[in-house]
Amino acid sequence: MAILIPYDGSEPAQQAVRHALDHWGGHKLVFLRVVEAADGSLEAGVDLIKERLKESRQEGAVELPDDLLERLADVEYELETVVGKSAREIVAFAEDNDIDHIVIGSHGRSGPSRVLLGSVAERVVRRAPTPVTVVR
């Protein structure tokens, strides 16, 4: 069984990790970071994607607090990064990677490189091919 956890470092995303560990800690956890891609010209989009991936690598694949890192010590997990629109990429990843369940925070960070996850969580719930748990 594989559990997908979209992760942006926000407190609701951390709560989603805690929930997943509490309920599915014996299964494979997949952390997915979505780097938002800009709409517009292809060249500008490619440049932005390269910059965001560079930022993502510098920040680390996931910014988990120490208590969660300790809990993950004995858990099978992987870190994935994709580029695109958050809800679309989360659903596509679940479809393409044999994901059994999605655990998502109710909302995430805001700012120029992040979208509010509230609307993303709603779209994921509506479109996901698997059960979705939204954690507050």
| Percentage of the chain exceeding pLDDT 70 | 73
Residue 91 has pLDDT above 90, yes or no: yes
Q: Can you give the pLDDT at residue 4?
A: 98
The pLDDT tens digits of the residues spanning 103-118 come to: 999 875 554 334 444 7
pTM above 0.75? Answer: yes
Q: Is 58 or 1 the better-scoring residue by pLDDT? A: 1
Q: How confident is the model at residue 10 (pLDDT cuts 50, 70, 90)?
A: confident
Residue where the block lists tokens 């044999």: 98
- Which domains does the chain possess? 2-135 (3.40.50.620)
